Amino acid sequence: MDSHYNPLFPRLIHALFISVSILMLMPMVLIIAISLTDETTLLTEGYRFIPSQISFDAYRVIFEVPQPILRAYGVTIFRTVIGTWMSILLIALTAYVISRPRFRYAKIITVLIFFTILFKPGLVPSYVLITQYLHMKNSIWVLIIPALLNPFLVLVMRGFIQTTVPEELIDSAKIDGASEFRVFWQIVLPLCAPALATLGVLTAFYYWNDWWLALLYIENPDLTPIQLMLYRIQSRIDFLSANPELQLELGITELPSLSLRMAMVVVAAGPMMFVFPFFQRFFVRGITVGSVK
């Protein structure tokens, strides 16, 4: 087992990780391969990694009628950009307030925040509240507001402020007559830039990939984000292929073709696969910073 004596050992590790990497990538390659396969070939041969008949028809269809997917992209981009900005501001602001050592209510607010991590409000009461009392169903804001305040990230941010922003700096600014908000805006925020970046990546990733809020509260096709659009396509296909008689009744003769479905996934999920990996380290920082109370 010793690499000093056995030069084979590192090679074995390489071999292991090369095969694991292939296993990791294979499923995604299969999706791309299907999206590039000719439709009749798919029907006769099934899904193959190496298509015997390549065709770009699926992509052509998508780009000829791009409105639905562009619309979905628009909704997703809107909620991600607006949601991320609002969320980091709110989180940082709250973290600043509860990190003040002489603030009398810091402790009780912290406990209130922390308790929401421990005891989750149930799905059904939240649903009743949002749909019956707040009337937020089918509003773009239901995709943003309920997820704004992530209690875990508030506590992470509080820890960061406590360890990196010197208390003397804040005190001297206050002696010079700066208001609390000004201290937060002009001293604390700039000093927290690295933490804010981590927060921003985590939050943007959440908003981009989230389907949960949309699944519960969005029925309007114009407000459907990408993730939900993909789910709706999938479930409609499942439903219609399980009830062929309905298909005739509704006059739907053709389901989206097999290659078209996969092309949709590639177009919808693909671009971010080139963006998020660059921020890989932020995800780990999020959890390791979190372990520092």
Residue 134 near another protein by CB under 8 A: yes
| CA atoms of 214 and 80, how far apart (whole Å) | 13
Helix 67-99 to helix 193-209 angle (10° resolution) is 140
C-alpha radius of gyration, the chain, whole number: 25
Residue 109 near another protein by CB under 8 A: yes
Residues 156-215 that bind another protein (CB under 8 A): 179-181, 184, 205, 209-212
Closest distance to another protein from the beta carbon of 5 (Å): 8
Tokens representing 28? Answer: 């995604």
Decide: 54 and 33 in contact? Cβ < 8 Å: no
- Which helix (H) or strand (E) covers residue 182, if one does? helix 180-183
Give burial (CB, 10 Å; 0-12/13-18/19+) of 181.
exposed
Decide: 152 and 114 in contact? Cβ < 8 Å: no
The residue (of 49 and 63) whose beta carbon lies closer to another protein is: 49
Helix 226-242 to helix 67-99 angle (10° resolution) is 130
Residues 246-275 that bind another protein (CB under 8 A): 258, 261-262, 265, 268-269, 272-273
The residue (of 195 and 207) whose beta carbon lies closer to another protein is: 207
Residues 30-89 that bind another protein (CB under 8 A): 30-31, 34, 42-43, 46-49
The residue (of 176 and 251) whose beta carbon lies closer to another protein is: 176
Residue 141 near another protein by CB under 8 A: no
Closest distance to another protein from the beta carbon of 49 (Å): 8
Dihedral of the alpha carbons of 85, 150, 184, 97, in degrees to the nearest 10? 160
Closest distance to another protein from the beta carbon of 64 (Å): 22
Residue 20 near another protein by CB under 8 A: yes
Near another protein by CB under 8 A, which window of 56-64, 65-73, 161-169, 280-288? Answer: 280-288
Residue 16 near another protein by CB under 8 A: yes
Residues 221-250 that bind another protein (CB under 8 A): 227-228, 230-231, 234-235, 238
Place of tokens 């009744």: 249
- State CA 116 to chain mean position distance: 21
Residue 4 near another protein by CB under 8 A: yes
Near another protein by CB under 8 A, which window of 24-32, 53-61, 65-73, 189-197? Answer: 24-32
User: Number of residues in contact with another protein, rule: CB under 8 A?
Assistant: 93
| CA atoms of 106 and 110, how far apart (whole Å) | 6
The residue (of 43 and 251) whose beta carbon lies closer to another protein is: 43
Please state, as a whole number, how many other Cβ atoms lie within 10 Å of the Cβ of residue 217: 20
